[in-house]
Each structure stands twice: as C-alpha cells, then as structure tokens.
C-alpha cells in the first residue's frame, strides 16, 4: 500500500470523498493486471472548443428564432445532435481499450525511466490519436484488433522503489469538442538504483584484497589464462565471440587475475558525508568492479553477499542499494 493511502485510511471521515477525488484525478487503486477502460474509469468533459461550440448553437438558435427560419432551426438541431454524438464517440474511443503493464527495466536515479505498456484494442473500430501521458504526452493510433507495445517515459529523482504515477489516457477524437480521459495506475514499481557517484575513487582496500592489489591496479584481464565452457553468471564481455561464430559453442575467456582478484565493497568503510553519498559511491564501485571483471563481495548493514561476479550478482547488489 502506498504511504499516502495509509495516511488516508486513518482519516476515515474524509476517506470516501478523497477516494472519489482520487478516482477522477489519480485513477482507481493501482492494480497489477491489465486494465480495461470501462465507463467507471472514463470521465468526459467539454473542451474549450466544445464550450465555444455551445455558444455557436445558442447564436444559431437565436437567428432561427428571430427570423422564424425553420432550416436554421434544423441546422442548429443537427449540430446539437452532432454534439451529443460526439460525446458518445469520444467516450467510445476509450471504452473497451485494454492496457497491459509490461516489465520495466531498473534505472539509475536521475535517468529517464522507460515504462512499457501493451495497448490492446479488442474492437473493430480504429481509435485515433490517443494520448498517453505521465509527464510528456505520447500519441498513438490503435488499429482494429491490434495489440502493440507503447513506451512512456518518466523522470526519476530518488533511489528506491519508484511507483509510476497515474497514466492519463485521453482522447479528443473525433471533433475535439469533448475530452474523455481515464487515469490508470499499475502496481508495477520500477527499481531506481542510486545515482552512481561521479568521483572516481580507488576500490576500498580490504584485508583479503590487499595482497593482490598490484595486479588489480594493472587493470586486470590482461593475462589470458584459458577458455572454459560458459557458465551462467559469466560476464558477456568475456565470451569468446569468434569461437561462437565458428560454431564452437559458448566459451568464456578467463584471465589470470580473475580467480584471485577479489574486493569487498563495504558500506561501513565507504567514504561519504551521508548515507546517500555512500550508497552512490558503492553504486559506482559495483559498476566499475563489474566492468573490470573483478570479483566483489558486498556488505550492507543487514546484508552480506559473498564475492561473485556477473549480471545477477550486480543486480542483487544494486537492488540492495536501491532499497536500503
């Protein structure tokens, strides 16, 4: 449950009113599964153009009345009916649309998060110019019976479990006189890692690592040791692609220092003025260690990961940093 909802739940007097308010502006409770846009979720109001169109109708009715002109009456009545039909059409361009939340890739704080959605149009009608918006609007035409991915972007600021806010799906089609919108929320948080520190510090010197410091400083990976069959967790960088291209299977290049070079990344010894700075520095080290092919152990208060290497290990470390 989101923090703000928790606080709202306590204040039960305002709860119901708040919920209605929320359902209009923020959307209903976040859900995991696909969301079908139904009448309960769709709101519709005239746009500025819609209001001026109503003024036009009043003028036409006035002309018809003053001159007692039946065809002007007919024109005014036709345009009133067009307005009514437009309400329905605009509503219809959202109704029935199904939106699936895709898997989001973790990002570093300050980067732009890509939020992937899958838009399914189960009906026979083509839906034109749908606007999807978190921060910047993205426009999309959904063909009949289509099921296509759509990516939205949102800025991230803080590390942690980032709840993507309300996605507002809007349509003004066909005439732009009415705006139908549906605020939706998915329970599909994005993991935001700390922003990697920009200062380049050497890896921390720990007891186990000290003896081998020299070879690490050389940058490692120079002394070729041999080829081994690929194992899950091996870094992609070291895969012997030429051999793979020749059809010899996946082989990983191993270097002399790999077996021995190990460092410990420990929160306790990480420099920094505050927690965020330390986490940021740890993040930098994790990335660098992985890039250089160094084995690294990871120590956070309450969490200790033995030295290892590879994408999975890196992801584990970064996740721990994000959620610390």
Partner 1 sequence: MPTHIQPTVLLLLLSSVALIGLPHAWTIAPSVFGFFYALLIWRVVGIWKKNWLPNKAILFLLTCAGIALLYQQHLGVFGRNAGTSIFITALGLKLLEIKTTRDVYFIVFLSFIVAATLFLYQQSMGMALYIIAVCVSLLATLVVINMRTSDAKKAIKTALIIILQALPLGITFFILFPRLEAPHWTFLQDKSQIKSGLSETLEPGAISDLALSDELVFRVKFDGAIPPQPQRYWRGPVFSLTDGKKWLPLLKRDTQRNQDTLSFSGSPYQYTLLLEPQDKNWVFALDMPDKLAPPLKINTYYQVTTDANPSIRAEYTLQSYSDYNTGNIGNSERQENLQLPPVISPEITALVSQLHGFDASPSRFIQEVMNHFRTQQFYYSLTPPLMEENPIDTFLFKTHTGFCSHYATAFVYLMRIAHIPARVVSGYQGGELNKQGNFLEIKQADAHAWTEVWLENKGWTRIDPTTAIAPERVEQGVNIDKQINSGSVNFDLGQRGSTAANIAKQFRQAWQNADYSWQRWVINYNNTNQAHFLSRFGLNNSQRMLTWLFAILSGLTLGLFWWLTRQPQKQQDHASRLYQQFTHKLAKLQLQKLPGETASAFAIRIIQQHPDLTLPINTITELYLKIRYNKDSDADDLKKLTQAIRALKINHLRRH
User: Which residues are at the interface with partner 1 (CB under 8 A)?
Assistant: 49, 52-53, 56, 59-60, 63-82, 84-86, 88-89, 91-92, 95-96, 122-124, 128-129, 139, 141, 172-177
CB of 175 to partner 1, least distance (A): 5
Structure tokens at 250: 């996946």
Torsion, CA 68, CA 71, CA 77, CA 82, rounded to 10:
-150
Structure tokens at 120: 């399914």
CB of 43 to partner 1, least distance (A): 16
Nearer to partner 1, 147 or 311 (CB): 147
- Taking each helix axis as running N to C, give the angle between helix 15-25 and helix 3-10, from 0 to 180 degrees, rounded to the nearest 10: 150
Nearer to partner 1, 182 or 209 (CB): 182
Structure tokens at 285: 């080290």
Query: What is the phi-psi region of residue 117: left when phi exceeds 0, alpha when psi lies from -120 to 50, beta otherwise?
Result: beta
Compute the residue count for the chain: 324
- The helix, strand and coil proportions of the chain, stated in percent and rounded to the nearest 5, come to 35, 30, 35
* 218 contacts: CB under 8 Å, gap ≥ 6: 257
CB of 50 to partner 1, least distance (A): 10
CB of 191 to partner 1, least distance (A): 33
Nearer to partner 1, 178 or 285 (CB): 178
Nearer to partner 1, 79 or 323 (CB): 79
Nearer to partner 1, 64 or 294 (CB): 64
Nearer to partner 1, 105 or 147 (CB): 147
CA-wise closest residue to 166 among 324, 23, 47? 23
CB of 147 to partner 1, least distance (A): 12
Examine residue 174 and say whether the peptide bond preceding it is cis (omega within 30 degrees of 0). yes
Nearer to partner 1, 72 or 316 (CB): 72
CB of 167 to partner 1, least distance (A): 19
CB of 110 to partner 1, least distance (A): 29
Distance (Å) of CA 264 to CA 215, 271, 292, 313, 321:
16, 14, 14, 13, 15
CB of 116 to partner 1, least distance (A): 20
- What is the side-by-side order of every strand in the sheet holding 35-36? 35-36, 98-101, 112-120, 147-155
Structure tokens at 153: 């972007």
């Amino acid at each position: 449950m989101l923090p703000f909802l928790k606080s709202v739940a306590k204040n039960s007097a305002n709860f119901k009113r708040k919920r209605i308010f929320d359902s209009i502006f923020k959307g209903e409770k976040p859900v995991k599964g696909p969301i079908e846009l139904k009448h309960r979720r769709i709101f519709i109001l005239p746009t500025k153009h819609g209001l001026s169109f109503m003024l036009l109708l009043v003028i036409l009715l006035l002309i018809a009345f003053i001159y007692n002109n039946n065809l002007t009456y007919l024109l005014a009545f036709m345009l009133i009916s067009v307005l009514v039909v437009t309400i329905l059409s605009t509503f219809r361009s959202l109704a029935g649309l199904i939106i699936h939340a895709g898997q989001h890739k973790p990002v570093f704080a300050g980067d732009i998060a890509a939020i992937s959605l899958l838009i399914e149009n189960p009906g026979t009608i083509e839906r034109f110019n749908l606007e999807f918006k978190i921060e910047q609007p993205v426009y999309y035409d959904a063909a009949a019976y289509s099921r296509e991915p759509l990516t939205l972007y949102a800025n991230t600021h803080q590390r942690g479990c980032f709840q993507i806010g309300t996605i507002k799906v809007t349509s003004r089609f066909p005439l732009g006189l009415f705006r139908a919108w549906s605020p939706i929320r998915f329970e599909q948080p994005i993991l935001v890692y700390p922003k990697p520190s920009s200062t380049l510090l050497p890896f921390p010197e720990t007891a186990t690592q000290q003896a081998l410091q020299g070879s690490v400083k050389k940058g490692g990976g120079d002394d070729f040791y041999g080829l081994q069959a690929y194992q899950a967790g091996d870094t992609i960088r070291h895969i012997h692609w030429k051999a793979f291209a020749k059809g010899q299977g996946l082989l990983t290049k191993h270097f002399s220092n790999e077996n021995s070079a190990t460092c410990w990344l420990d929160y306790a010894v990480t420099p920094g003025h505050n927690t965020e700075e330390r986490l940021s520095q740890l993040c930098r080290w994790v990335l660098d260690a992985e890039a250089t092919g160094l084995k690294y152990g990871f120590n956070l208060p309450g969490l200790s990961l033995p030295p290892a290497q590879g994408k999975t290990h890196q992801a584990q470390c970064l996740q721990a940093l994000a959620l610390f």
